Amino acid sequence: MNKQLFGQSSGKAFHAYPKGDFDLESGNIKKARKPKNLLLDPIKMLKTIGNRIHYYSKIHPLLVLLISLSFGVAILIMLSMYTSSFQMNVRRKSDASSSSYPYENLRNLVMVAGHSVYMSSSCGKVDGEESWFLETYQKHPGQAATFLMHIKEGIQIAAKDERALLLFSGGETRKDAGPQSEAQSYWAVAESQGWFGKQEDVRWRALTEEHARDSFENLLFSVCRFRELTGTYPHNVTVVSYDFKEERFAHLHRLAIGFPEARFFYFGTPASSTSKEAAMKGESAVRAQFHEDPYGCVGSLHRKKLTRDPFHRSIPYPNGCPELKGMFSYCGVVPYPGKLPWTQ
């Protein structure tokens, strides 16, 4: 007789009842129902949910109404948040596109230096001295015609170079002329003259630099203004002014800002015959002052700049041209020793 201890297995599992549900009365085995997977049948699932909602709405109508309202409010909040986020992204993209430089495709600068403020409201007699605010040393017959010649030449030079930005430069330098800048005066005269037949080609790329108080600032500020509008510094610079000022611009001022000589061009027009002798004498004296004070930051040149700022305009530069920040605070008799964008 084999004795088997409690807990020891015979090696085969014993099932008291077969798999499935066993009916003791009938002795039959009922097959277990397989659970329905509603996820595989979305239509039945929706019907089931609908039936349940309908059932509960009859038993607890107020509760179902509150749940439905809460669900609706939650959807509205989510839609509102999504709309706000979408509008913010659109606004950011719009701001990014608007912050780009409006003239980034232009690469050369044509600068016309201003010498007076146009006073006529009708823009009829642009070549008449009575239409301009003239200092005592400027009151000569034919003087106004020389201003008009500068404007015309600047437009024609820019018209020949489709990648040139034309800037009229000159601030609000005359107190009795009111808060009107030389640059804006020149632009208005160009407009009144139909841009000398070059309106469609030049007008859209002709702007102003309205803070310069002397010839050195005409050049430096226009280079900064170019940087503000294009995002880069000019490859070539062309200056339009009187022919007797060529040495001042092309040598003294160009050297002071360290701009390459091979990329600097000067176009000079003659002074009126009645003012030529006095103009040459005055130019000799001013040129000697810039020899001693290239940046116009001390002595008589500095005092002259103060008198040419009667409305105490705040100079915006070097904002817009941060690479030249060091030059704006420099005052010396030798050229600025720091790094410059066009020398790197």
Question: What is the tens place of the pLDDT at every residue in 323-341?
Answer: 999 999 999 999 999 999 9
Give the per-residue pLDDT at 9.
46
Give the per-residue pLDDT at 76.
78
The answer to whether residues 115 and 170 touch, using CB atoms and an 8 Å cutoff, is: yes
Residue segments in the chain with a per-residue pLDDT below the cut of 70: 1-42, 46, 50, 56-57, 60, 64, 82-99, 121-124
Give the per-residue pLDDT at 79.
76
Give the per-residue pLDDT at 136.
84
Whether cis (ω within 30° of 0) applies to the bond prior to 318 is yes
Instruction: Identify residue 178 by its one-letter amino acid code.
Output: G
Give the per-residue pLDDT at 84.
61
Instruction: Identify residue 56 by its one-letter amino acid code.
Output: Y
Question: What is the tens place of the pLDDT at every residue in 117-166?
Answer: 998 766 568 888 888 988 888 888 989 999 999 999 999 999 999 999 99
The 3 state secondary structure assigned to the chain is CCCCCCCCCCCCCCCCCCCCEECCCCCCEECCCCCCCHHHCHHHHHHHHHHHHHHHHHHCHHHHHHHHHHHHHHHHHHHHHHHHHHHHHHHHHHHHHHCCCCCCCCCEEEEEECCCEECCCCCCCCCCHHHEECCHHHCCCCHHHHHHHHHHHHHHHHHCCCCEEEEEECCCCCCCCCCCCHHHHHHHHHHHCHHHHCHHHHHHHEEEECCCCCHHHHHHHHHHHHHHHHCCCCCEEEEEEEHHHHHHHHHHHHHHHCCCHHHEEEEEECCCCCCHHHHHHHHHHHHHHHHHCCCCCCHHHHHHHHHCCCCCCCCCCCCCCHHHHHHHCCCCCCCCCCCCCCCC
Sequence-distant (6+) residues with CB within 8 A of 105 are 163, 230
Give the per-residue pLDDT at 41.
64
